[in-house]
Structure 1
Amino acid sequence: MIAGRYRLLGPLGEGGMGVVWRARDEVLGREVAVKEVRAPAGLPGPDVQRLYARLEREAWAAARISHRNVVTVYDVATEDARPWIVMELIRGLSLSEVLDAEGPMPPQRAARIGAEVLAALRSAHGSGVLHRDVKPGNVLLANDGRVVLTDFGIAMVEGSSALTMTGELIGSPEFLAPERALGRTPGPASDLWSLGVLLYAATEGNSPFRQNTPLSTLRAVVDEELPPPRRAGALAPVIEGLLRKDPAERPSAGEAERQLRTVAAGGGRT
């Protein structure tokens, strides 16, 4: 029982930084998702506190965004001197699980998912929040048809202090925008790049810049040309626009969403 209120029922998923649990809110009588972060064994005290501060910032960042495509945060509970994020329970699968099970998806379906993710990003950016880790594992496809962006654990909020150690790599290398790989200040266009990589992976079946090591992947992100999409059809020009190395040359979020909804409706270049 967390904070005398949330009864853990079973794990929903586990990653490098912790576990997401299915739980029951005993006060309101409803099921919720509870995110627990487990600090790695042997981590120095200051780093543990920084990890927990990041978790709390995730809740704060997500809670200030009100949008159907962003997971709803209900509470931040404290148990054993650790914060636990209480969120709505999304019944469904992550995009990464769907791709692993079914393989590459048709461009129209990928475009529909991408448009919903972009709607979430536009709402986040409008609230001063950059996601900074847009990838298939952080996109949930709910059983009721919703597409939900989750895990704002490394989100950067305007006006907040940096919680990362110098030199720490934040985000998944193969989804990282070139300007971030070069250590430059990210902006909304950096999340759009990550969305472009997501769309490429969804339709092509592989990430365009993934290499054998994180360092070689980052080098490819910065220096290598985009391998031409072969399966993307009408989605190809949108992907190529989002994956321009210069963030100033990428389409605006509004224009990209318009293009994605056109493809999702069956339009666009074939």
Structure 2
Amino acid sequence: MSGGGPEGAAVPPGRVVAGRYRLLEQLGRGGMGVVWHARDEVLDRDVAVKEVRAPAGLLDHEVRQLYVRLEREARAAARIAHPHVVTVFDVASDEGRPWIVMELVRGLSLADALETEGPLPPAHAARIGAGVLSALRGAHAAGVLHRDVKPGNVLLANDGRVVLTDFGIATVEGSSALTRTGELVGSPEFLAPERALGHPPGPASDLWSLGVTLYAAVEGISPFRQDTPLSTMRAVVDQQLPAPVRAGTLTPVLEGLLRKDPALRLGAEEAEDMLRVVARGGTVPDAGTPLASEAPTVPAYAPPHAPAG
């Protein structure tokens, strides 16, 4: 029996989830559900609650497997204690679905900021990037990959913090139904080449996604975006990196993070050091190794729906 799409009717404001979290208003909506501003009626505090919904096309047993995995990954993310990582308070279960309860970060996402204000100066983007990279280093040290670093998951808090959210929640790996339907959960234009080729993600994959995020922040365009998800992934794997024109002192960092071969990408510690220098108004040298615009060393492109060989 097919799930036929995200199950259940739309959840109304005012509903109390797991006997504790009263939903107040929607904060955002994405491919894997809705984020709500909610009230924790036990601790009397405002929180953000992610209402997770399975994508269309999954069989019933695949939906159950998906929810088990998402719950496990949310609990792993809850172990990350870092000032630049959104705090996960709880993973509640209600009507057979996981609801991820997080700290409520008041502010804008980087995506919203770019839409309203346009491209950022290199030093400003570098400061944001340094915060995100610090978060990623903390997560990777705890054995947690993000797998969907993008402007929409970078929060710019009103108190000045840069906060990375949605660890392990927004991207789903290994579902036969996703392969069968051709549906990709996540953002193809921020996907690392090795992931577009169907290889397992690693810490370097998150660093590529950060590089694309920073490129979009300073250039005002995503470097590999095309008309369709499949053509975008082809561009990620095959096309040269468009030379940055507005990045200025951030250029060496972008080129270092956007090397096609994950083994040649900037390491997290070096990249964070470089970003902090640029954020202070300094300059950094070109690392001098092959750039993303050169021929990739990953295997030739294979459509993402092809079975792993």
TM-score range, shorter chain: over 0.9
2:206 to 168, 191, 215: 191
* Residues 73-131 of structure 1: CA deviation (Å, up to 9, x unaligned): 11111211221111100101110010011110100100000000000000011011111
Query: CA shift at 1:154, angstroms?
Result: 4.6
1:179 corresponds to which residue?
Answer: 194
Check if 1:230 corresponds to 2:245: yes
Sequence identity of aligned pairs in percent? 72
Check if 1:10 corresponds to 2:21: no
1:27 corresponds to which residue?
Answer: 42
1:164 to 147, 172, 175: 175
Check if 1:200 corresponds to 2:200: no
Partner secondary structure for residue 156 of structure 2 = strand
Partner secondary structure for residue 86 of structure 2 = coil
1:38 corresponds to which residue?
Answer: 53
Query: CA shift at 1:181, angstroms?
Result: 1.2
2:264 corresponds to which residue?
Answer: 249
2:115 to 61, 85, 100: 100
Cα distance in 2, alignment partners of residues 170 and 57 from structure 1: 18
Partner secondary structure for residue 133 of structure 1 = coil
Residue pair 1:238, 1:256 contacting (<8 A) in 2 also: yes
4+ residue runs of structure 1 moved beyond 4 angstroms?
Answer: 40-43
Which deviates more, 24-33 or 42-51? 42-51
Cα distance in 2, alignment partners of residues 239 and 178 from structure 1: 15
Query: CA shift at 1:39, angstroms?
Result: 3.3
Within-5 A mapping of 1:216-227: 216-227=231-242
Q: How many residues align?
A: 265
Cα distance in 2, alignment partners of residues 163 and 154 from structure 1: 14
Check if 1:127 corresponds to 2:142: yes
Residue pair 1:59, 1:85 contacting (<8 A) in 2 also: yes
Cα distance in 1, alignment partners of residues 56 and 207 from structure 2: 35
Higher Cα radius of gyration: 2
2:280 corresponds to which residue?
Answer: 265
1:115 corresponds to which residue?
Answer: 130
Cα distance in 2, alignment partners of residues 43 and 253 from structure 1: 36
The letter of the residue matching 1:256 is A
Residue pair 1:129, 1:155 contacting (<8 A) in 2 also: no
Cα distance in 2, alignment partners of residues 170 and 240 from structure 1: 27
Query: CA shift at 1:218, angstroms?
Result: 1.0
* Residues 157-197 of structure 1: CA deviation (Å, up to 9, x unaligned): xxxxx653373645311111111111223221111111100
Cα distance in 2, alignment partners of residues 255 and 42 from structure 1: 42
Cα distance in 2, alignment partners of residues 220 and 42 from structure 1: 27
Query: CA shift at 1:269, angstroms?
Result: 5.2
Q: TM-score, normalised by structure 1?
A: 0.92
Query: CA shift at 1:257, angstroms?
Result: 0.1
Query: CA shift at 1:55, angstroms?
Result: 2.9
Q: TM-score, normalised by structure 2?
A: 0.81
Which deviates more, 190-199 or 79-88? 79-88
Residue pair 1:54, 1:154 contacting (<8 A) in 2 also: no
Cα distance in 2, alignment partners of residues 13 and 169 from structure 1: 19
1:72 corresponds to which residue?
Answer: 87
Query: CA shift at 1:43, angstroms?
Result: 4.3
| CA RMSD across the alignment | 1.9
Within-5 A mapping of 1:142-153: 142-152=157-167, 153=169
Which blocks of at least 5 consecutive residues in structure 1 are unaligned? Answer: 157-161
Which deviates more, 55-64 or 35-44? 35-44
Cα distance in 2, alignment partners of residues 51 and 96 from structure 1: 27
2:8 corresponds to which residue?
Answer: none
1:213 corresponds to which residue?
Answer: 228
Which deviates more, 6-15 or 36-45? 36-45
The letter of the residue matching 1:22 is H
Q: Give the direction of change, closer, same or farther, for the CA distance of 1:155–1:130 in structure 2 (3 Å limit).
A: farther
* Residues 27-55 of structure 1: CA deviation (Å, up to 9, x unaligned): 11111111102335674312321332243
Check if 1:89 corresponds to 2:127: no
Cα distance in 2, alignment partners of residues 17 and 146 from structure 1: 25
